[in-house]
């Protein structure tokens, strides 16, 4: 599929010109090992059945699923001509973990750096791979990547610290898998019929987009195994029977080797490990992934949370069933030390905190909040607001709307973000445009971060850096990064369901330095095709950018003192009254923790409609 720009003399595609230009630039500046490829990506529906249970419509590229793994080398450039052939859905592509330094408009976040590419639309992503490591790409539009539009990216590093220490490379994606379309699942999730916000539970787990994968290995050989969780909800435990691993990369950051027998990998996280195979070929070994069931409110009948692959030393020998594990004891990433030994940013210029909460709004559905605000997509993508209201007004958070959780960062400041989790589940948070130093992470139920509890000397001298970090249930973490990448970057939970429930903040970094950004015309065309404005504040107002009349809003708040439990009670007793089925009034008594109310719910709500 990939075509080298230089080998394309017959082509008259406009991007051939861009490719040629890149080649000329490359010759001029003599980084000629770097390669520019131009690829056409036709995003469309295909049928797939990766868990052997159920054929379902799945989003593929160029008629294929799994979608291609992007294998490049540091310095390579890829021009992706994306055609949306879905017919009934808009789309986008985000390149997870790439900083997009100077190319904020290529970040792919719908409503932030672009409008969704409408059905039938065309959009070019021009990506320079400047960071080595393991990344991935996925749709950043309404839960869609869980329908299949997600794949691994590997940026090879010829000067990497472990070059020469391994013989071969293996890339393994890990994911959860659903049998229903994301749009339908989102509708079920954010719904008066689901007042406790119970998330849809995946049907199965996949390794490399399949099950029972056989990985041929040679004895006495060291592999660099790259794990990337491209799932949408489930974190997974990973272990390999009879083998141990040495972690050497976390989210694109090379680390000093750290021994691990079991990994815990949330959606969007990556680990590379060195795996040395055994000296004899007398046995094959299971590689097992187990979804973290603590996240699931209910385990549906027949669901298997586990998926097995095998290291196959000898194809003629049996593939052993994995041994049950008594207790999951996963490697703790907190102690990882980056090879570059970047010290802690010990002078903080701007510190702020975000508190996570889940609650119901007036429509009865369950939403997610940062500091009492549930994210609601603005009418104008925030980047376009930044570029159209003038440099001074672009530094005023008001123009980005009242429901976008916008924070403005001054260029080069060291930012400290304190995340307090008021919810009892783990959440993996991702920051676009950066990785960050993890200076503190509490245990479960440790509550709100209190700076007085820790002295500066309690922080690691060389903290781990990564771009996706989980916070423990009712715990907290503290991260730091330098605002050295002008742009509009999201910070959000990477559990896709929680993102859809609004667990998103917008960081506008050095907007004055962004003003010269040149956004290609086909980006604005995507907006026009969808009749979306491309200038003005969050409400599309350009005359008075402080007037947010008409901006998108979430449903209103519930009256004070109204709890989810009360809502469940009210909802079901109302339905009961309506249907004259007084017998179900007992629902009013149920504990809010008992989230499985699905059985009778179906019957009731069907008659209520929406
Ligand atoms: C979109 O089209 C696909 C493929 O024809 C179909 O399976 C799917 O149900 C459609 N989705 C919606 C939301 O209509
Ligand atoms: C994983 O799948 C990709 C195709 O998507 C394939 O190229 C690769 O060889 C597979 N990896 C293994 C270890 O089988
Ligand atoms: C999945 O693996 C875990 C750990 O070995 C085990 O406790 C659990 O029973 C397994 N689940 C299934 C459905 O096999
Ligand atoms: C972006 O590039 C500038 C130099 O052009 C550099 O100073 C800065 O550190 C980079 N930011 C990131 C996040 O890579
Ligand atoms: C900022 O916005 C206000 C209100 O729209 C406008 O009057 C003012 O001219 C703007 N300032 C700049 C520097 O563009
Ligand atoms: Cu979350």
Q: What is the pLDDT of residues 15-34, one digit of tens each?
A: 555 555 555 554 444 445 68
Distance (Å) from CA 434 to ligand 4 centroid: 10
The pLDDT of residue 22: 52
In ligand 4, the atom with minimum distance to the C-alpha of 485 is 11
d(CA 94, CA 274): 28
Do residues 480 and 436 make contact, with C-beta atoms less than 8 angstroms apart?
yes
Q: Which one of 1, 65, 67, 69 would you pick to mutate in the ligand 2 pocket, going by the greatest count of ligand atoms within 8 A of its CB? A: 69
Distance (Å) from CA 58 to ligand 1 centroid: 9
The pLDDT of residue 8: 35
The finding on whether 391 has its CB within 6 A of some atom of ligand 5 is no
The pLDDT of residue 165: 97
d(CA 437, CA 496): 24
Distance (Å) from CA 530 to ligand 3 centroid: 47
The pLDDT of residue 287: 98
Residue 194: alpha-carbon gap to chain centroid = 24
The ligand minimizing its distance to the Cα of 233 is 6
In ligand 5, the atom with minimum distance to the C-alpha of 543 is 5
pLDDT tier at 126, thresholds 50, 70, 90:
very high
pLDDT at 11 over 90: no
The pLDDT of residue 571: 56
The ligand minimizing its distance to the Cα of 131 is 4
Q: Which of 352-366, 568-582, 590-604 has the highest mean pLDDT?
A: 352-366
Please state, for a pLDDT cut of 70, what percent of the chain lies above it.
86
pLDDT tier at 300, thresholds 50, 70, 90:
confident
pLDDT at 489 over 50: yes
pLDDT tier at 96, thresholds 50, 70, 90:
very high
The ligand minimizing its distance to the Cα of 504 is 6
Q: Indicate which residue's Cα is closest to atom 6 of ligand 5.
A: 544
The pLDDT of residue 552: 97
The pLDDT of residue 456: 81
Distance (Å) from CA 545 to ligand 5 centroid: 7
The ligand minimizing its distance to the Cα of 292 is 3
Q: Which one of 385, 386, 390 would you pick to mutate in the ligand 5 pocket, going by the greatest count of ligand atoms within 8 A of its CB? A: 390
Distance (Å) from CA 131 to ligand 4 centroid: 11
d(CA 144, CA 9): 36
Average pLDDT value for residue range 423-433: 97
Using CB distances shorter than 6 Å, the residues near ligand 2 are: 66, 69, 170, 208, 213, 215
- CB burial of residue 262 (10 Å; 0-12, 13-18, 19+): middle
pLDDT tier at 596, thresholds 50, 70, 90:
very low
Q: Which one of 290, 307, 320 would you pick to mutate in the ligand 3 pocket, going by the greatest count of ligand atoms within 8 A of its CB? A: 290
The pLDDT of residue 16: 52
The pLDDT of residue 453: 84
pLDDT averaged over the chain?
89
Using CB distances shorter than 6 Å, the residues near ligand 1 are: 45, 57, 87-88, 181, 183
SS3 assignment, position 172:
strand
Q: Indicate which residue's Cα is closest to atom 9 of ligand 3.
A: 324
Q: Which one of 380, 391, 392 would you pick to mutate in the ligand 5 pocket, going by the greatest count of ligand atoms within 8 A of its CB? A: 392
The pLDDT of residue 25: 52
pLDDT at 41 over 90: yes
The pLDDT of residue 589: 34
Average pLDDT value for residue range 88-105: 98
The pLDDT of residue 13: 46
Distance (Å) of CA 214 to CA 308, 325, 515 = 9, 21, 51
The ligand minimizing its distance to the Cα of 487 is 4
The pLDDT of residue 570: 57
The pLDDT of residue 303: 84
The pLDDT of residue 567: 58
The pLDDT of residue 85: 98
Higher-confidence residue: 596 or 260?
260
In ligand 5, the atom with minimum distance to the C-alpha of 392 is 13
d(CA 259, CA 239): 12
Reported in sequence order, the residue ranges of 178-265 that DSSP labels E, i.e. its strands, are 204-207, 213-216, 222-229, 236-240, 245-250, 253-260, 262-265
Q: Which one of 1, 66, 136, 208 would you pick to mutate in the ligand 2 pocket, going by the greatest count of ligand atoms within 8 A of its CB? A: 208
Q: Indicate which residue's Cα is closest to atom 12 of ligand 4.
A: 485
Higher-confidence residue: 573 or 136?
136
- CB burial of residue 456 (10 Å; 0-12, 13-18, 19+): exposed
The pLDDT of residue 454: 86
The pLDDT of residue 403: 98
The pLDDT of residue 324: 95
Do residues 326 and 337 make contact, with C-beta atoms less than 8 angstroms apart?
no
Average pLDDT value for residue range 586-608: 32
Distance (Å) from CA 414 to ligand 4 centroid: 13
């Amino acid at each position: 599929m990939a075509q080298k720009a230089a080998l394309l003399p017959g082509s008259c595609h406009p991007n051939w010109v861009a490719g040629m230009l890149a080649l000329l630039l490359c010759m001029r500046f003599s980084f000629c090992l770097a390669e520019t490829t131009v690829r056409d990506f036709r995003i469309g529906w295909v049928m797939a059945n990766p868990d052997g249970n159920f054929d379902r419509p799945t989003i593929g590229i160029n008629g294929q699923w799994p979608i291609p793994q992007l294998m490049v080398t540091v310095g390579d450039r890829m021009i992706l001509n994306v055609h949306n052939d879905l017919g009934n859905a808009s789309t986008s592509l985000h390149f997870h973990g790439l900083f997009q330094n100077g190319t904020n408009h290529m970040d792919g976040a719908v409503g932030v750096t672009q409008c969704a590419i409408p059905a039938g639309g065309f959009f070019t992503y021009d990506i320079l791979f400047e960071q080595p490591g393991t990344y991935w790409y996925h749709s950043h539009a309404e839960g869609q990547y869980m329908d299949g539009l997600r794949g691994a990216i590997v940026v090879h590093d010829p000067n990497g610290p472990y070059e020469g220490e391994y013989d071969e490379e293996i890339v393994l994606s890990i994911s959860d898998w659903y049998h229903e379309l994301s749009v339908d699942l989102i509708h079920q999730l954010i719904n008066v019929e689901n007042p406790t916000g119970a998330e849809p539970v995946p049907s199965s787990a996949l390794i490399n987009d399949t099950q029972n994968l056989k990985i041929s290995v040679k004895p006495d050989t060291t592999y660099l195994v790259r794990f990337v969780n491209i799932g949408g909800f489930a974190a997974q435990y990973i272990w390999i029977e009879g083998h141990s691993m040495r972690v050497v990369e976390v989210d694109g950051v090379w680390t000093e080797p750290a021994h691990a027998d079991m990994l815990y990998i949330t959606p969007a996280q990556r680990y590379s490990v060195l795996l040395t195979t055994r000296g004899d070929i007398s046995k094959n070994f299971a590689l097992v992934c187990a979804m973290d069931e603590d996240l699931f409110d209910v385990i549906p009948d027949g669901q298997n949370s586990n998926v097995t692959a095998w290291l196959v030393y000898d194809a003629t020998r049996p593939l052993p069933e994995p041994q049950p594990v008594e207790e999951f004891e996963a490697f703790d990433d907190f102690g990882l030390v980056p090879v570059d030994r970047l010290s802690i940013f010990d002078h903080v210029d701007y510190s702020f905190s975000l508190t996570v909460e889940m609650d119901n709004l007036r429509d009865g559905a369950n939403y997610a909040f940062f500091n009492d605000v549930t994210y609601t997509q603005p009418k104008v993508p925030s980047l376009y607001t930044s570029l159209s209201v003038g440099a001074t007004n672009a530094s005023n958070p008001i123009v980005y709307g009242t429901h976008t959780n916008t924070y403005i960062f001054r260029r080069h400041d060291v930012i400290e973000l304190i995340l307090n989790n008021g919810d009892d589940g783990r959440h993996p948070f991702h920051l676009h445009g950066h990785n960050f130093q993890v200076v503190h992470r509490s245990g479960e139920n440790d509550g709100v971060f209190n700076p007085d509890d820790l002295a500066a000397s309690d922080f690691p001298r060389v903290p781990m850096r990564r771009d996706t970090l989980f916070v423990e249930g009712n715990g907290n973490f503290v991260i730091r990064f330098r605002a050295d990448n002008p742009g509009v970057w999201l910070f959000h939970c990477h559990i896709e369901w929680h993102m859809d429930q609004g667990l998103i903040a917008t960081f506008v970094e050095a907007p004055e330095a962004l003003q010269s950004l040149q956004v290609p015309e086909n980006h604005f065309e995507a907006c026009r095709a969808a009749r979306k404005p491309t200038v003005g504040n969050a409400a599309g107002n350009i005359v008075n950018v402080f007037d947010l009349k008409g901006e998108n809003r979430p449903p209103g708040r519930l009256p004070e003192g109204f709890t989810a439990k009360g809502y469940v009670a009210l909802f079901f007793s109302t339905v009961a009254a309506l249907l004259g089925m007084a017998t179900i009034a007992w629902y009013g008594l149920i504990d809010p923790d008992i989230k499985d109310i699905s059985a009778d719910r179906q019957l009731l709500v069907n008659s209520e409609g929406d």
